[in-house]
Amino acid sequence: MEGRLFYRGKLVLPKNSSSLSAIIKEMHESPTGGHSGYFRTFKRIAGVLYWEGMKKDLKEWVQQCEVCQRNKAETLAPLKVQGKDTILVVVDRLTKYAHFLALAHPFTAAEVAQLFIKEIVKLNGFPSTIVSDRDNIFLSNFWKELFRQAGTKLRFSIAYHP
């Protein structure tokens, strides 16, 4: 290992090393590299090597990789279902089964309750407890009274923690 510099178990290469292109190409484009993005390529290389400006070099390499750019998935807008643009997500906390119910905005508490009863209550009966976010629909007097009559306790999550 004479003539090589190691730091914390990683081989340190000079910024102008002629090996850098071959190393990046192997770690990014080989079958094991799989044209994974910047982060995975960085993690793979950073486990064994270091050179000054490594992150910048890897970002540039991935951004200039023709295969990655050609095959990169485009961001899609949500697909609309028959004019519906909102999804009510209901998760059974016992079975972890999720229901996705489409709604057209704007909607009322009565419409949400009707959909909930039609799609959820018919399958499982009224739940003993519902945990929801603090949307105005779920805080409405109508919603509270409906579930009070059904014997369902309403609980509300704190902000950003459903």
Identify the pLDDT of residue 80: 65
Identify the pLDDT of residue 138: 87
Domain locations in the chain as residue ranges: 5-71, 86-156
Identify the pLDDT of residue 77: 66
Burial 56-68 (b: 16+ CB within 10 A, else e): ebbeebbeebeeb
Identify the pLDDT of residue 94: 83
Instruction: Tell me the CB-side half-sphere exposure of residue 94, using CA atoms within 13 A.
Output: 5
For the full predicted model, state whether its pTM sits above 0.85: no
What is the rounded CA–CA span in Å between residue 117 and residue 64?
53
Question: Do residues 44 and 50 touch, judged by C-beta distance below 8 A?
Answer: no
Identify the pLDDT of residue 7: 84
Q: What is the pLDDT along the chain (162 residues), one digit of tens a residue?
A: 567 888 888 999 998 888 889 989 888 888 877 888 888 889 989 989 999 999 999 999 988 988 888 777 666 666 667 778 888 899 988 888 899 999 888 889 899 999 999 998 888 888 889 888 888 888 899 988 988 998 989 998 887 665
Torsions phi, psi for 50 (to 5 deg):
-150, 140
CATH fold of 86-156 reads Nucleotidyltransferase; domain 5 (3.30.420)
